[in-house]
Amino acid sequence: MITSVNIQGYRGFDRFEMTGLGRINLLVGTNNSGKTSVLEGIFLLMEAGDPYALWQLVSRRGERAIISLPGSDREPTPARRIQLELEACHLFRGHEVHPGSKFSISAKNQTPERSIVFTVMELSAKDRAELFGPADDGTLPSRLALEVQGTPPPISSMIPLSRTGGITPETLESSRRSHRRAAIGSSVFITTESLTMQELISHWNRVLLTPAEGLVLAALKLIDRDIERIGLQADAQPFFYNAMTRGGFLIKKRDVEQPIPIGSMGDGMWRLLAMAIVITQCRGGVLLVDEIDTGLHYTVMSRMWQLIFGAAKEFNVQVFATTHSYDCVHSLAQICADADEINPVTVQRVEPGKAKAVPYSTGEIKLAAERQIEMR
């Protein structure tokens, strides 16, 4: 498990450190303090700098631009081409990309340390031609690229940037074709919007007809005890497909003959479904959940933590989550009392402008809950 995380130059952080980590780590703090950025940093680290992971993080924040490019000179009347790019500048402190811009994430754990460093490099014309080839219009590509270094070795050591400093879909696809996935622990990042139907179905197909199905059903019963079964619809790709559709799954309730689409059961049900399915797929790795209590009533919190902690132990998963909820924080005290590990749970308070998170140990969480002390 990761015992400490160090971040330098990523998004709003100049320097940031988080120590004393346990199996379950709940990040608290005010808005815009950097909680989500910490989750992103850990995700990039676990994904060995995969360009697709970068694409996911930047895209979900809406940090993208539509660029108008000149058409080919070979055409009689060159038309302007439209290209979607993700703005890499927002990954760096100060929102600027220039040669020498750098950010790094590292972690200490029980195995050799992990690290990942992204540095903006200025390439010579020769290097550009050798690495990326000429552009479609016959000109040389951008002079900038992201050099990626780290331990274990990154999936891609060089990510080309466009002339405007962006990452293009072509770069993403080229990298995924050219580089195999690193053999490291699995990680999944569940954002505030949760997972899409397509993503969740993909994970479910690896859970189907395994003992992990019982965990998923137990999670749904936290909200509705009358749920007896869950299944996947045969036509899980609707005609009017929306990437964010919350569908594809049916549930069977006691004394209700008609199967019910899970989308009819509210946001909390979808949230628990995603967490329960995904944690079984992170064996030996990390689960990251932004605003873990989204859509969940406070009466569910203690049982949710018990389920997540039990699954995390069973599958050897380390969990990092964020919240703004008082009930979510203090309900952790229940598993603090029952856990048989040393410091299994921590609360980490992230404060704007501070270089180190304020950690609360298992004993301090129990004491804070008993005396109603504010930790957020």
What one-character-per-residue DSSP string does 176-215 give? HHHSPPP----EEEE-TT---HHHHHHHHHHHTTSTHHHH
Q: What is the pLDDT of residue 240?
A: 44
- Angle at 337 (CA atoms; ends 336, 342), nearest 5 degrees: 55
What is the dihedral sign for C-alpha 359, 361, 367, 368?
positive
Q: What is the pLDDT of residue 348?
A: 96
For residue 250, the SS3 value is strand
Q: What is the pLDDT of residue 140?
A: 52
- On the question of a cis peptide bond just before residue 152, with omega within 30 degrees of 0, the verdict is yes
- Paired sense of beta strands 318-322 and 286-289, if any: parallel
Instruction: For residue 190, give both structure tokens.
Output: 């569940």
Q: What is the pLDDT of residue 79?
A: 57
DSSP secondary structure of 145-168: EEEEEEESPPS-SEEE--TTSEE-
For residue 99, the SS3 value is coil
Q: What residues in the chain have per-residue pLDDT under 50?
A: 138, 178-185, 239-241, 243
Q: What is the pLDDT of residue 276?
A: 92
Q: What is the pLDDT of residue 275?
A: 92
Q: What is the pLDDT of residue 55?
A: 85
Q: In order of start, what are the domains of the chain with their CATH numbers?
A: 49-62+88-178 (no CATH), 187-371 (3.40.50.300)
The secondary structure of the chain in percent helix, strand, coil, rounded to multiples of 5, reads: 30, 25, 40
Q: What percent of the chain has pLDDT over 90?
A: 37
- Paired sense of beta strands 144-151 and 114-122, if any: antiparallel
pTM: 0.87
Average pLDDT, the chain: 83
Instruction: For residue 368, give both structure tokens.
Output: 């804070």
